[in-house]
């Protein structure tokens, strides 16, 4: 372990760097987000020529899904008192 020069936010560590198993309707909602992004990706691919810009658009769409899913996983589980073991 490295000595900390600045305060370490233990709450953030517990929230952001652990596995959050889906619970309740979360898995279904992840699917909704992925399907919507897939639909948009198909439109982008069908309307934009193959190019670096199209690739960047698709990569950023992947990031949108990642961060939206992370918002669900990290915040709902954390706010409702669930832990990685539940």
In a domain, residue 14? The reply is: no
In a domain, residue 37? The reply is: yes
In a domain, residue 56? The reply is: yes
In a domain, residue 58? The reply is: yes
Position 37 scores a pLDDT of 98
Pick from 84, 85, 60: which is nearest to 74 by CA?
A: 84
The alpha carbon torsion through 23, 27, 29, 32 (nearest 10 deg) reads 180
* 3-state secondary structure at position 84: coil
* pTM given for the model: 0.79
Domain range holding 62?
24-79
Position 82 scores a pLDDT of 57
In a domain, residue 6? The reply is: no
Position 79 scores a pLDDT of 57
Position 15 scores a pLDDT of 86
Position 30 scores a pLDDT of 98
Total count of domains within the chain: 1
In a domain, residue 72? The reply is: yes
In a domain, residue 57? The reply is: yes
pLDDT tens for the chain, 86 residues long, are 789 999 999 988 888 888 889 999 999 999 999 999 999 999 999 999 999 999 999 999 999 999 999 999 998 965 565 555 54
In a domain, residue 19? The reply is: no
3-state SS, 17-56, equals CCCCCCCCCHHHHHHHHHHHHHHHHHHHHHHCCCCHHHHH
**How many other β-carbons are positioned within 10 Å of the β-carbon of residue 77?**
22
């Amino acid at each position: 372990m490295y000595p900390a020069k600045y305060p370490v936010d233990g709450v953030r560590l517990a929230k952001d760097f652990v596995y959050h198993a889906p619970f309740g309707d979360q898995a279904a909602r992840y699917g909704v987000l992925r399907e919507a992004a897939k639909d948009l990706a198909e439109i982008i691919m069908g309307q934009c020529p193959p190019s670096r810009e199209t690739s960047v658009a698709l990569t950023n769409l992947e990031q949108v899904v990642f961060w939206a899913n992370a918002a669900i996983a990290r915040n709902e589980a954390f706010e409702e008192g669930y832990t990685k073991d539940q």
